[in-house]
Amino acid sequence: MPDVTVTEVDACGLDCPMPLLKAKRALNTLQSGDRLRVLATDTGSQRDFQVFAEQSGHLLLDADQRDGVFCYLIEKR
Annotated active-site residue 16? The verdict is yes
Distance CA 61, CA 1 (A): 18
Residues 6+ away with beta carbon under 8 Å from 55: none
Does residue 65 contact residue 39 with C-beta atoms inside 8 Å?
no
The catalytically annotated residue of 16, 39, 63, 73 is 16
Please identify every residue annotated as catalytic.
Answer: 16
